[in-house]
Every structure is written in structure tokens, then in C-alpha cells.
Amino acid sequence: AIGLFTYCSLAYIGIHVSLQGSLEGSRSSLGGVQSSSMWYEIGNETSGLILILILFLVFHDCRVSAKGSAHLFRPLFHVLCLLTCDPSFFPRIWSMRTLLFTAFCKMYLYPAPEPGVILIRLVQEKRRQKHFINLIPSENFTSQAVLDALGSVMQNKYSEGYPGARYYGGNEFIDEAERLCQSRALQTFGLKEAEWGVNVQPLSGSPANLYAYSALLNTHDRLMGLDLPHGGHLSHGYQTPTKKISAISKYFETFPYRLDEKTGLIDYAKLEDLAMLYRPKLIVAGTSAYSRLIDYQRMREIANNVGAYLLADMAHISGLVAASVIPTPFEYADVVTTTTHKSLRGPRGAMIFFRKGVRRVNPKTKENEMWNLEEPINSSVFPGHQGGPHNHTITALAVALKQAQSPEFRSYQEAVLTNAKAFAKRLGDSKDKGGLGYTIVSGGTDNHLVLVDLKPQGVDGARVERVLELVGVASNKNTVPGDKSALKPGGLRMGTPAMTTRGFLADDFVRVADVVNRAVTITQRLDKSAKEAAEAKGRKNPGSVKAFMEYLGEGESEREIIQLRSEVEEWVGTFSLPWESSA
């Protein structure tokens, strides 16, 4: 007992000294007066390690005394995790602390490592998100309020069915939360309840599209969507001449429309000709890698000409639509689907909007013909494809939708567009105009993403994506017009929503473009070296992506990668995450 008291007293002193040093360090990092005080030096260099060693001793004595009762010292373990895995605490000794903590885990947590290892992974992922430039257009950062709702007691409840008609008891407050989410969804997109309904239960975007198709079509009915290599999505029915890649193309007969490869824009005239020949029952107006606005009015006209439903998939652009900074599809579409975690900044989920009320007046009887979409779509979601909805996600979505109605959200979406245009301009302008001379598909952007064709640089998206990852930039390889296979993409898809959330401005994205350019240059050099090394070994396919990846490894021996990674981490680490107190 005396020993434990002594350890705890020393721990208290260590924490006080260490946190004082951390505070001084934080002030310095924020541009304040540099401190040379004893607190700062002791706090950052000495007391952190002393504190950890003391806590190790306390933990050891507690474990021995408790005879293996791990629950008695979980709080202490959490303190150790914080002090050793979060680089914001005593950054100068972070690597040493990580080494100590790894030894600690092996000594005390194995062979039952689950809670500790998962906690470590959470802290590591938080650090990765903090120090990575996230250019993936389909990713974003939610607010703390959304995260709180996701981790709430709402996830404990089963609620198969819909508000007022559940198959379980005890859903009074679950019903209220779902109704509130539906109401906010309609408000966010400026829709009248008499004209539109919404289902907020779909678990993600691809299933939401399947649910909608199943409600509108019979098996083997015809569907047209934008071809995947031209900017469409798998869930729009992608298939190759030899294989049906998406299950959608197994359930329904699918036929793609495409871009005009000279302009990089949707070829509406060709779409109209194909639709007249193919006679689809549904046309999908939606994309996953198309940087221009969709002409929904033209799509509506084409759908009317062939008697087809028009479904708008606005998964990528729903946040921009909600903020009214780009045109809305609701004026022309019969059904609208969207994910909720991309530009909308909500939890990972999806929604299906559908028309209600009067559809048209019968020219012969002069009677109103009503829309009949609500029951088929709701039945397709439950019980057709899903069981119990994820109530914590629906609750978090209600929070995000309320945030999306704020003036701050509109300002954010305006910044997303401004940043995307600055990013595209720096990448795509010719070098004599101050740009980097890359080929931007369609020549620019009207939304949140930029699609770069890397074939003129002699590299592909897979190689550049990997090098970017090693230097601390998350992007994704993507097909571009002219690619022979969707499995060998020649482009790179990048977007601005995530880093705009963290506070990046147009000038920051100019700097990001320069980072991307340096990564491409590194890739070109390494690709040449990888081919030479593979040829020297007598490899059959020395120019393959696999050969490149094996040669590159983790990039530990590449000085340019290490240097650029250091620059990126130091820079992006100065931008707050939404849930940090300084945000």
C-alpha cells in the first residue's frame, strides 16, 4: 500500500510537470513566444519517460496484487495509451515512448491482446488521419456531434419496420428519431412533404441503388447508366464483354452510355440515340468520377422519349446540392439516391428520395394519376433486402442534416468548389501559364473532384497512388477515357471535401498539386529502376504493377520519399481535425 501510494504520488507530480511542458510546447507550436523555461525542457525531455516508467511499475504491482484481474487497471492502461501513442503529448520522445509501449503490450497484454491492440489501432488511425492529406473525393471528416451520436445507446435497439409499425416493442424514441431524420432530409434539400418522401434506412449507397432498382423494375428489365471507365459507378450495372462485374448486371439487363472522349463530357446525343434503340425502363443520371455538371433537364427529356424512369444518384455531390451551390436533380428526377458520408459530412449511410402526390392528369379521363413509389421502395428496403435499421446511424444522420442547413455549411461547400478549381488549374494549366501541364479529363471541374489522366506521363494510377500513400497523401487510382480495362486504371481521382473541412484554402491546394507532381516524378524514376531490376532477374513481365510494388516496398530506402513524407506530415499536422478542441 505504501509503495502504491508512493508511485501514485510520483505519477501525479509527473503528470503535472508533463502537462505543463506540453502546454508550453503547444503555445510555441501555435506561433507564440518560444519558451526556454525549465518546465518545457523537463516536461518534454525527462518527465514523460519518467512518468511512463512509474506507471509501468504501478501497473505491474497492481496486476500482481490483483492476480490477473485486468478490469482493475484498465484506466491506467488508457493513460499509458494516451501518453505513448498520441504524438501531441511530448512529441520529442514519441518514438521512444512508442518503443516502450510496444514492449509493455507484449509483456502485459498478450496472449489476450484484443482491447489493448484495438485501442492502439484507434490511436494510430487517428494519428494517420491527422498527418495525411486526404484527397479521396468520397471521404470526409464528421463533426464531434455526429461521432457522439454514432457511439450512442441508439445502437442497442432493434426496430424492424417503420415508425408506428415496428416488429419490436420499446421504439417510442427510435420512431421519433427516424421521423426527425426524414423531416430534416426533406428540409435540407428544399422538398415539400406532399411531393417527396424519403427512406433513411439503407445501410450504404450501392445497396440503396439496388433497393431502388428492385422497386422500379422487374428482373431482367433494362437499365442504362454511365460506363464505369467513363466516370460511372459499379452499382449502375458495370460489366465487361466476358463478365458481369456488378451483380446489378446479373439481376437486370444493363447497357452503358459514355463520354465524348474528345471533350470528356457526357455525350447526350449518343445517349439519346442508344436509348431510342435499347428502350430502357430506367436511366441512371449519376457518376463517381465525373467533374462536370449533369444536364438533368436533357436527361429528363431523353427518359420521357422512351418512357423510362429517371433516377439521379447524387452520392458524391449531395452536400453541394444541399448548399445550393450546384443545380439540384430533384426538379427532374423521379427517384434520387445518395450516400450520406461524402460531401454531406454525415455518417456512413444512404437515403432514397421518391416522388409522391399527383404524377399527371389523365388526358382522357381528366383524373389525377398518383405516384406509386413510396410503398414499393419502402417494401424493397424492408423486408425486401434489410432487417433492422442502424438506429445510431439514422440518429447521427439527423445531426448531420441539421448542420447542413446552416450558413457555415454553405460557406464550406463554396470553399470546396473554389479549392477544386484552384487545384485543377494548378495541375492542368500549361507550364508557360504557371501550371504543371497535366491532362485533366474534361479540362477542369465544376464540382468537388479532379480527374487526372496520367498516361501522357508514362505511368498509371496504381503506381502513383502507392507513392502518394508513402509520402502521406491519400488518393485513388481511377479509370479514364481511353483505358482498355477498368482493372488497369490510367488516371488518378482526387477531391477537396476532406481537406477543406480541415481548413485548406485555395493556396493550400496549389501546394498539394506540387506535392502530387513531385510524387509523379518519383514514380517515373522508380518505375524505370523497377523495370531494370526485374529484367535483370529475368522476370517475365518486368513492367507489371506487381513488379513495381515489390521493388518499391515501403519506400524506406528512398530518400525523396522519406523527405517528402516528412514535409507533408509537418505541414498537414498544423491543421486541426473537426473534433479537436482547437478546431
**341 pLDDT higher than 70:** yes
Least confident range of 70-84, 289-303, 536-550: 70-84
54 pLDDT more than 90:
no
Question: Of the listed 254, 287, 337, 339, which one is catalytic?
Answer: 339
pLDDT tens-digit series, residues 538-575: 999 999 999 999 999 999 999 999 999 999 999 999 99
- 332 part of the active site: no
Answer whether residue 89 shows pLDDT above 60: no
Task: Return the C-alpha torsion angle 252, 253, 254, 255, nearest 10.
Answer: -170
Confidence of residue 580 (pLDDT cuts 50, 70, 90): confident
Contacts of 490 (CB under 8 A, 6+ apart): 453, 454, 455, 460, 461, 479, 480, 482, 483
Residue 294 in contact with residue 232, Cβ under 8 Å? no
Is residue 553 within 8 Å of 467, Cβ to Cβ? no
Q: Is 309 a catalytic residue?
A: no
Structure confidence at residue 488 (pLDDT):
81
- Strand pairing of 368-370 and 439-440? unpaired
- State yes or no: pLDDT of 86 exceeds 70: no
- Nearest one of 517, 509, 505, 515 to 566, comparing CA atoms: 515
Over 50: is that where the pLDDT of 23 sits? no
Contact 443, 452 (CB under 8 A): no
Give the confidence band of 114 by pLDDT, cuts at 50, 70, 90: low
Query: From the candidates 313, 334, 446, 483, which is the catalytic residue?
Result: 313
Q: Could you give the CA distance from residue 297 to residue 45 in angstroms, rounded to a whole number?
A: 65
Is the dihedral angle over the CA atoms 437, 441, 447, 450 positive or is it negative? Answer: negative
Query: Hey, how many other C-beta atoms are within 10 angstroms of the C-beta on 167?
Result: 13
The catalytic position among 160, 301, 469, 560 is 160
In whole angstroms, give the CA distance from residue 286 to residue 232: 7
Query: Each residue of 471-518: pLDDT tens digit?
Result: 999 999 999 988 887 678 999 999 999 999 999 999 999 999 999 999
**Is pLDDT at 194 greater than 50 in this prediction?**
yes
Question: Is there a catalytic annotation at residue 342?
Answer: yes
pLDDT at 56 over 90: no
Mean pLDDT on 301-315: 98
Residues in the chain: 583
Please say whether the dihedral angle defined by the alpha carbons of residues 72, 74, 79 and 83, taken in this order, is positive or negative.
Answer: positive
Confidence of residue 52 (pLDDT cuts 50, 70, 90): low
Does 340 participate in catalysis according to the annotation? no
Is 546 tagged catalytic? Answer: no
Q: What is the pTM of this model?
A: 0.83
Given 292, 342, 463, 518, the catalytic residue: 342
Which range scores top for mean pLDDT: 118-127, 335-344, 364-373? 335-344
- What integer best gives the mean pLDDT of the chain? 87
pLDDT of residue 392: 98
Q: Which range (65-79, 311-325, 348-362) has the least confidence?
A: 65-79
User: For the chain, what is the radius of gyration of the CA atoms?
Assistant: 27
Percent of the chain with pLDDT over 70: 79
| 339-352: average pLDDT | 98
- The question of whether 92 is a catalytic residue gets the answer no
